[in-house]
Structure 1
Amino acid sequence: MIEVAAAIIEDGAGRILIARRAPGKSQAGLWEFPGGKLEPGESPEDCLRRELLEEMGIEIDPYAYFGVNEHDYGTVKIRLIAYRAKYVSGEIVLMDHDEYRWVSREELGEYTFAEADVGFVGELVVEQNEI
């Protein structure tokens, strides 16, 4: 099983950063919470700091565990570990994605997410309805 970290990054207005996987990548065309594979011995928080800097050119501050989803894609099983994070600095430059958006929780349902991310979308929408 591959361990992957995902960041649920909020901006000052409470919008969440989502990104679409570029053509030629696994899960191409699907939206996700950005992140990446954990290196051996790396914490999910350190992984997210590294991956977001490498893949998007931004600095984030992961501050709270959000949850975990496991999904079997047939050819690969992943364990997706999500953390809430704050956007700190940098201009977004896409490497593994072809588009990004800052969206409200209500808008999350308008996008088709990778299966491993779907559970997190549901939790965020429920969270919004409880506010």
Structure 2
Amino acid sequence: MIRVTCAIIRNEDNEILIVQRGEKTDHPFKWEFPGGKLRKRETEEECIIREIREELSMEVIICSKSEPVVHDYGHKKIRLIPFLCDTLDELPVLSEHEDFKWIPAETLGSVDFCEADIIVASRYLGMTGNKPAAKNRESETEQSETVDKDLQKMINNMMSMQEAEWVAASAGENPVLFQKLLDYSYSPDRKLAFRASWTLSKVCDKYPELIYPHLEKITEELNGIDNESTQRSFLRILSLTDLQKISERHHGILAEHCFKALNSGFSAIAIKAYSMEIIYKLALIYPGLANELAITINMLQGEVSAAGIVARGRIIMKRIAEISKS
């Protein structure tokens, strides 16, 4: 029997995170609670923390452990150990799954889950007193009095990558919508700021030139942004853009911020990864940064166990070696 852990992850709005399996998996396009198999000499708690970091680059806090679910799929039999977890991270970085959604707990009953996860969801609903929603239930939001409020509501209610990409495509063709996303990214409303900045990063994937006039302001605001999810989106934008578009002074601000994030024991894995990429790009402009980055990565690899950041560090170390040769 295969021992597997999974996490019912709640955000600040008590929404539940679900992830979709890929086409080439044994349950293609089915939804599930994130998690994975136990390794040798690993506790169940250590396993779920590691799996969420590796699969989603998220940090979670374990609140409780539920009764295991034993299920026979025919080709394999599993013992699924569910954990109820909380997180302040809003944006998973998918490394194995096709998609993700944050959904209200009462809608878990209408999700096309893998069979074992159906049992986990049903038990969770019974434990919390939520009643499963009917599959044909309509969930339309009331129309707001102003376009601005409508847009904010739409962004706050986005629950999947496809929805974000649809808004991003619209913003790429609509300067007013693009500016709104940028403005909302600085909002004190943490959820709105995160989802707007996340969508903004999707706009920049397709239309990088739109963000060029705003790069210096984003750089200047980084140190003052206490919303880690928004900061992660901004760092992603900067890691993918042409840093020659900002001034030498802003290069200095950015390098200082990113080294600080790399050396901090409190920075999320994704923030460290994007910071690493940004400093590498700056090292292409200022080769003197390469040695400092190499030292930082070596220290980081000795302290961080997340596979994603270690692998990224190794790749960048190879690139740094090429800079040194030239």
Distance 1:34 1:130 in 2: 21
2:68 aligned residue: 68
TM-score (norm 1): 0.92
Superposition pairs of residues 73-84 of structure 1, within 5 angstroms: 73-84=73-84
- Per-residue deviation, 1:61: 1.4
Is the partner of 1:59 in helix, strand or coil? coil
1:62 positional shift: 1.6
Relative to structure 1, the CA distance from residue 90 to residue 11 in structure 2 (aligned partners, 3 Å threshold; closer, same or farther) is closer
Q: Secondary structure at the match of 2:64?
A: strand
Deviation of the 1:88 alpha carbon: 4.2
Q: CA RMSD in A?
A: 1.7
CA offset digits 1:51-81 (Å, max 9, x no partner):
1111111111122112210111111100000
Structure whose CA Rg is larger: 2
Q: In the alignment, which residue of structure 2 is the partner of 1:9?
A: 9
Instruction: Assess if the C-alpha contact under 8 Å between 2:19 and 2:32 holds in 1.
Output: yes
Calculate percent identity across the aligned residue pairs.
35
Deviations 1:80-112 (A, max 9, x none): 000111114474111221111111111112211
Tell me the amino acid that sits aligned with residue 47 of structure 1: C
Show the 5 A alignment for 1:3-82. 3-82=3-82
1:17 touches 1:101 (CA, 8 Å); kept in 2? yes
Q: Distance in 1 between matches of 2:28 and 2:45?
A: 25
Name the structure 1 match of 2:120: 120
Displacement after TM superposition at 1:130 (Å): 6.1
- Judged with a 3 Å threshold, the aligned counterparts in structure 2 of structure 1 residues 7 and 74 are, in CA distance, closer, same or farther, namely same
Which ranges of 4 or more aligned residues in structure 1 deviate by more than 4 Å?
none
Task: Determine the structure 1 residue equivalent to 2:288.
Answer: none
**Structure with greater strand percent:** 1
Higher relative contact order (CA 8 A, sep 6+): 1
Gaps of 5+ in 1: none
Partners of 2:15 and 2:130 in 1: how far apart? 16
Q: What is the deviation of 1:127?
A: 3.1
